Chains A and B, each alone.
Chain A
Amino acid sequence: MGMTFSEKVLARAAGCASARAGEIVVVRPAHLLTHDNTSAIIGKIGSDLAAWGVVDPDLPVIVLDHVVPAANDKTAAGHKRIREFVKRYGLSHFFDVGEGICHQIVVERGLARPGTVVVGSDSHTCSYGAVGCFSTGIDRTEAAALLLTGHTWFKVPETLRITLTGAFQPEVGPKDLVLRIIGDIGADGADYKTVEYVGPAVASLTVEDRFTVANMGVEMGAKAAIFPVDAVTVAYLASVGVAPGSYEVFASDPDAVVWKELTYDLGEIEPVLAMPHTVDNVVPVREKLGLPVHQALLGTCTNGRVSDLAVAARILEGRHVHPDCRLLVLPASRTVLREAMDRGILQVLVAAGGVVLPPGCGPCLGAHQGVLAPGERCISTANRNFKGRMGCPEAEIVLASPATVAASALEARVADPREVGS
């Protein structure tokens, strides 16, 4: 009987010949991602660190992104403590305020390699499946233990295989696809599973497209969301300094046992929204045309890459957002920001009325920079629309693609990107 991708990769990380879904394995992850929460994490193990130190200075990847630049003295003190910790233990991978969102950094700096296991104290750690890395979220306490021991346990997940066929229609993209899937299977439709995306349409998806889909894996409950390593991946990795041959490529065997199979024809996907207050509350954009929006958020770890900003810029070029709608632009990293500047994308977004925020998580978790007022509604390219998520429980968040968000910003109401033209 063949093995799945997850079985192979977890067996390798555990140093075993094989592993089976349902078994518990102890693995040594290649990296441990933590962000602003590093401060709270090291606070749990102060005396342990003094006694035992950090198990391996190459293990942690620390990115300051959640509340950057610091919003108040408390968050500033947290950042300061993290910088001191990094220096004291000589840690190799630290990215200070302004470098970008942790998940973008891990992929963009070549820290997520195919066939490895990466864990992070953030639920969207599942994003690195975009480049064939088994990655998943853990909590702060587990991150603290990992800093000391370098290992943790996993129950080997079963696999949900999703086959993608066809090609997207104009103004429809990966965000619409993944929202459609979540709407169909529900917020717990892939609980504890690895979601593997396969099929003839995968080759047409860029690593940026795959990132958006993998990022939303946790919104269907998945432990990991994986794309195969193909020519697109190899070329992308080479562009970020990860040479072909420096990593092992794993794929599910043809006779591997999968838990469930689904198929999506990209050509049948249409622009959709996730309505408040759950990500699986998915409806076609055409059913909500005209719904007022007061803020539009373009960016985040889900849709804050150059291709996302470019889609919005194409729609907004030579136009201006509606006076009743604020457009916030949140690039996923400094690299994205620079490329968007070099390509003139940022100029278009600013001319259209966009407010450019520093690379980071910004208003996505409601800590600062674009908090909503009671009664307001934000249309957002982020991954969560939970009640209170953007800082106000009496506000609403509607999730959509960059194209739909840009089109809606022009009208201060939900608009279909296929109808506004460009």
Chain B
Amino acid sequence: MRVWRYGDDINTDRLFPGKYTYTCSTADEVKPHLLEDLDPAFASGVRPGDVLLVGRNFGCGSSREQPVLGLASVGVAAVVGRSFARIFYRAAINQGLLLVECPAAVDAWTEGDPVEVDVASSEVRVGNRSFPFPSLPPEILAIRESGGLLQYARAALAADRPRG
């Protein structure tokens, strides 16, 4: 498990350049360009279970779900940050990517510390210390528990208007 540390105000153009937005949509198309203008080593180096530790306002800028889709599909366990831009935050809920706002955990981390997120107990473990984070409202947890927004919407539609 590796921790990838990035700073404040990382916008979506750096996470996934705009020039690819109308030619790359699927996870396989997105993966080679993931974080291309932020960290060229990321796309080839990231492994399932890795964690991103980020600063303030992560994911600001354009509405661009490809980086979220990409991070979820390469198996990133969580993105732990000081704060997230709102469209990026919603996109993560919609894709089932775990985002955790926990400034104390970001502050506490030093090179080499493993980072782990325990959703059940709402805490981030950094090395041998633990930091609580507020649990999500039930409406949002329901979307995550369905596996993402589309699965959630499909279940609601099927209950309401069974497929003909």
Residues of A within 8 A of B (CB): 24, 26, 36-37, 39-40, 43-45, 48, 51-52, 66-67, 72, 74-75, 78, 121-123, 137-142, 144-145, 148-149, 153, 155, 187-188, 191-192, 218, 221, 223, 278, 280, 365-367, 371, 384, 386-389, 391, 393
- State the Cβ distance, B145 to closest chain A Cβ, in Å: 15
- 23 residue pairs from A and B, CB less than 8 Å apart: A24-B139, A51-B163, A66-B21, A66-B22, A123-B87, A137-B63, A139-B65, A141-B94, A141-B95, A142-B91, A148-B157, A149-B157, A187-B57, A188-B57, A191-B57, A191-B83, A192-B86, A221-B86, A278-B11, A366-B18, A389-B13, A391-B18, A393-B37
Number of CB contacts from chain A to chain B under 8 A: 136
The secondary structure that dominates the A interface is: loop
User: Taking CB as reference atom, which chain A residue is nearest B65?
Assistant: A139
CA distance in complex: A144, B61 (Å): 21
Contact between chains at B22 and A37 (CB < 8 Å)? yes
Taking A145-B150, A155-B137, A365-B19 as given, write out 12 further A-B residue pairs in contact, using a Cβ cutoff of 8 Å, ordered by the A residue number.
Answer: A37-B22, A48-B154, A51-B163, A52-B163, A141-B95, A142-B149, A148-B154, A149-B156, A188-B9, A384-B11, A384-B61, A388-B17
- State the Cβ distance, A101 to closest chain B Cβ, in Å: 14
- State the Cβ distance, A80 to closest chain B Cβ, in Å: 13
Q: Does B76 contact A (CB under 8 A)?
A: no
CA distance in complex: A129, B75 (Å): 38
Contact residues of B between 119 and 164, Cβ < 8 Å to A: 137, 139-140, 148-150, 152-154, 156-157, 161, 163-164
- State the Cβ distance, A33 to closest chain B Cβ, in Å: 11
User: Taking CB as reference atom, which chain B residue is nearest A371?
Assistant: B19
B-side contacts of A48, CB under 8 Å: 150, 154, 157
Contact between chains at B22 and A141 (CB < 8 Å)? no
User: Taking CB as reference atom, which chain A residue is nearest B38?
Assistant: A387
Contact of A188 among B23, B62, B85, B137 (CB under 8 A): B85
Contact of B25 among A24, A40, A280 (CB under 8 A): A40
